[in-house]
Structures are given as C-alpha cells and as structure tokens.
Amino acid sequence: MLSISHLYASYDGHPALKDINLQLKPGSLTVVLGPSGCGKTTLLNLIAGFQQAERGSIVLNERAVTAPGAERGVVFQNEGLLPWMNVIENVAFGLKLAGVDRKTREQKAARLLARVGLAGAEQRAIWQLSGGMRQRVGIARALANDPQLLLLDEPFGALDAFTREQMQALLLTLWRDSGKQILLITHDIEEAVFLASELILLSPGPGKVVERLTLSFGQRYADGASCRSIKSDPEFIARREQVLARFFQQREVFA
Ligand SMILES: Nc1ncnc2c1ncn2[C@@H]1O[C@H](COP(=O)(O)OP(=O)(O)OP(=O)(O)O)[C@@H](O)[C@H]1O
C-alpha cells in the first residue's frame, strides 16, 4: 500500500503541491494526469525519495519514504542510461551496486531483457538503440532490483504514436505478469485512460487532486483484448472525452 497524507511541496516559497492525500493499493496501476506545471514530476520525485516534502508523509508498505530505495524502481523520460555501458551492463548496474555476483546479475539482466522484448540486444551500445528500445532498457533496469513499486515519469512522451502504443502494451503485460504496483505520470489523456486502474487528475496552481476514477481498460488489455479494439470502443471514447473535458476545465480555471 502506498499512503500519501497531507503532502505539501514548494520551491523557494512557491507552492507546487497542496494537501495531496492518496491511498493506492498493491497491484494498482495508478496514472497521475495533469497539465504542465501541476506538480506531476514533483509528486513522483517525492515518492522516489529524490526530493523532500515540506509537510506530510509518504509511506510505502508501512515504511516511511525519506530517501531513494531499492524497493522503488524509477524509469525516467530520457531513460537516464549510462552511454559508456552496453545494454546488459546498464540493466545489471543496480545489481552490481547491490553486490550481486557477475554470473547471477548477468542471468537476471538477460531474463529481464527477454521480458521487455530485447533478447539478443544484450551487447549493443546505447547509441545503437531506437527511443523505444532505450525505454525498454530503462524499464528492465528499473525492474532489476525487484522493486515493490515501479515509478515512471512521462516514459513514452518522446516516442512516435506506434511505438508509444507498443510500450503501453508492454507495460500492461509486465503489470499483469508481475503483479507489481505501478505509478506513471503523463499529460496524455488517451494514455492515462487506457493504462490506469486508478486515474488521478491534478490541477495546477498549486497542484491538487481534483478527480479520482477507477478504470478497467488496461485490465481488459491484460485479459486479452487488443489495444485497437479497446481504444475504438465507444465506452473508451466516452470516458476519454469526459476526462478531456475535465482536464481542459482545469486549464481554464488556471488560465
Ligand atoms: N527545481 C525547481 N525550482 C523551482 N520551481 C520548480 C522546480 N521544479 C518545478 N518547479 C515548479 O513547480 C511547479 C510544478 O512543476 P512540475 O515539474 O512538478 O510539474 P509537471 O506537472 O511535472 O510539469 P510538466 O508536465 O511540464 O513536466 C511548476 O510551477 C514548476 O515551475
């Protein structure tokens, strides 16, 4: 369980998040959606432990979050891969830091690369990879320490529409197969409605929760329906339009 209580954050006296309260169940796929500047990255950085809250608390499985930890894996928008290491070394790096022996970490990294569709790419250099492949490496790396919570910061924002949909499908497959709790931030409304089991809408000025929806389109994909059939379903389109209207309402309030 991830419990966020009365969380406040600010920069140089300017509030960025105001009284955020969320209880997110193990196994949930939470998507935090909101317009630019509403505090999505700030919230993710606080949960990751990269940043300290001004007030309030974050507790993951009964342990207070105060610093980064191996039980939280992070995937960054720009992947954050180490260019002087090859693919498998990037994935195994966290295991190396944790003192895992070479053979074990290479076996584990190779298994994870196969899970994200990169079997055979172990020895490739990072510069030889496409954007989608880099994000696959980033996800495999974040999973290497077997985290309880996977955090993703706008992970597919820079990808073309086709690759983006492939990555959404991959994430849902990993979610189904691992049962891990996932929290992803995005400003893409369709992506949010498709992926989320819990959708949290933030509004800016300062960031606060304005809506929380429980959705099941991602579960439908995990149960075997295709991306295209879900995204063209009138129920999906109606939900997307409803969230879109709410999203623009928030922007207008702020403008
Ligand atoms: N390091 C910083 N110093 C000062 N202000 C900051 C800093 N980081 C973020 N802010 C401000 O805090 C607010 C929230 O920023 P944040 O990056 O968390 O929002 P966001 O929703 O992730 O935006 P985007 O989608 O554009 O990345 C914004 O007003 C931003 O200008």
Closest CA to 6 of 42, 56, 64: 56
pLDDT in tens, 198-254: 999 999 989 999 999 999 999 999 999 999 999 999 999 999 999 999 888 876 655
Same domain (yes/no): 117, 191:
no
Atom of ligand 1 nearest to the CA of 34: 21
Instruction: Name the closest-CA residue to atom 12, ligand 1.
Output: 16
Determine the structural domain holding residue 97 and report its residue range: 83-146
Residue 65 shares a structural domain with residue 88: no
Are 165 and 238 contained in the same domain? yes
Same domain, 140 and 208: no
**Assessment of whether the complete model's pTM goes beyond 0.90:** yes
Does ipTM surpass 0.95 in this model? yes
pLDDT tens-digit readout, 142-163: 999 999 999 999 999 889 999 9
Is the distance from CB of 109 to CB of 144 less than 8 angstroms?
yes
What is the 3-state secondary structure of 61-118?
Answer: CCEECCCCCCCEEEECCCCCCCCCCEHHHHHHHHHHHCCCCHHHHHHHHHHHHHHCCC
Residues having CB closer than 6 A to ligand 1 are 11, 16, 34, 36-42, 187
Residues 95 and 50 in one domain: no
- pLDDT for res 245: 92
d(CA 81, CA 75): 10
Structural domains of the chain, count: 2
Question: What are the φ and ψ backbone dihedral angles of 248, each rounded to 5 degrees?
Answer: -70, -30
Residue 42 and residue 13 share a domain: yes
Q: Give the pLDDT confidence score for residue 252 in this predicted structure.
A: 60
- 118 alpha carbon to ligand 1 midpoint, in Å? 33
Residue 216's CATH number: 3.40.50.300
Q: 58-111, pLDDT tens digit by residue?
A: 999 999 999 999 999 999 887 789 999 999 999 999 999 989 999 999 999 999
